[in-house]
């Protein structure tokens, strides 16, 4: 029997922290890594606002690492390549809201929460098949990602 993967990679303790975690979410790990790099250090409310604009395809997330053949998008400051990772942004929105609720429950002021730590790691990949013509099938690998987020209250 395997233990549930509940630990956080950053061992950080304190009264002014709020955490949230999502294991094996069925979204692109590359998109999640780019979003995590982009929102790290942001105010939680600002990150939520931006990601909601990404879902609406009004603003782009800069792709700094996984950017081979990624087209330029308008409105990016200090960078050109970017995309609109809608599904991954939706998962991050859910995660940030969960962490804010956890902070609210712990008695923190949600307006002062800043993203202290955010990380996206590849989860288990599941083997699957892609049905093709004439009764054949092509194997495919469904990727998952483990997301973790820690918010800190700052004055």
Instruction: Give the contacts of 11 (CB within 8 A, at least 6 positions apart).
Output: none
| Residue 133 β-bridge partners | none
Asked if residue 13 is part of any domain, the answer here is no
pLDDT at 66: 95
Predicted structure pTM score: 0.91
Q: What mean pLDDT comes out for the span 44-72?
A: 96
Given a contact cutoff of 8 angstroms between Cβ atoms, the answer to whether 38 and 62 are in contact is: yes
Q: Is the pLDDT at 1 greater than 70, yes or no?
A: no
Q: Is the pLDDT at 5 greater than 80, yes or no?
A: no
Asked if residue 133 is part of any domain, the answer here is yes
pLDDT, tens digit (0-9, with 9 covering 90-100), for 16-50: 999 999 999 999 999 999 999 999 999 999 999 99
Query: Which domain covers residue 139, as residue numbers?
Result: 19-153
Asked if residue 9 is part of any domain, the answer here is no
Asked if residue 128 is part of any domain, the answer here is yes
pLDDT at 58: 96
Q: How far apart are CA 57 and CA 138, in angstroms?
A: 32
Spell 33-56 as b/e; 16+ CB within 10 A means b.
bbbbbbbeebbbeebbebbeebbe
Instruction: Give the CATH number for residue 80.
Output: 3.90.470.10
Could you give the number of structural domains in the chain? 1
Asked if residue 145 is part of any domain, the answer here is yes
């Amino acid at each position: 029997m395997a233990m549930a993967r509940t630990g956080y990679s950053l061992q950080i303790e304190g009264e002014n922290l709020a955490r949230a975690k999502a294991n094996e979410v069925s979204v692109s790990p590359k998109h999640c890594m780019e979003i995590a790099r982009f929102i790290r250090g942001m105010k939680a409310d600002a990150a939520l606002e931006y990601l909601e604009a990404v879902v609406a395809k009004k603003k782009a997330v800069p792709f700094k690492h996984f950017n081979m053949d990624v087209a330029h998008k308008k409105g990016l400051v200090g960078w050109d390549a970017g995309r609109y990772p809608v599904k991954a942004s939706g998962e991050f929105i859910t995660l940030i809201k969960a962490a804010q609720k956890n902070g609210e429950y712990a008695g923190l002021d949600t307006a002062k929460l800043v993203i202290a730590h955010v990380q996206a790691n590849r989860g288990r990949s599941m083997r699957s098949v892609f049905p093709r013509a004439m009764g054949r099938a092509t194997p495919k690998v469904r990727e998952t990602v483990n997301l973790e987020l820690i918010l800190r209250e700052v004055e």
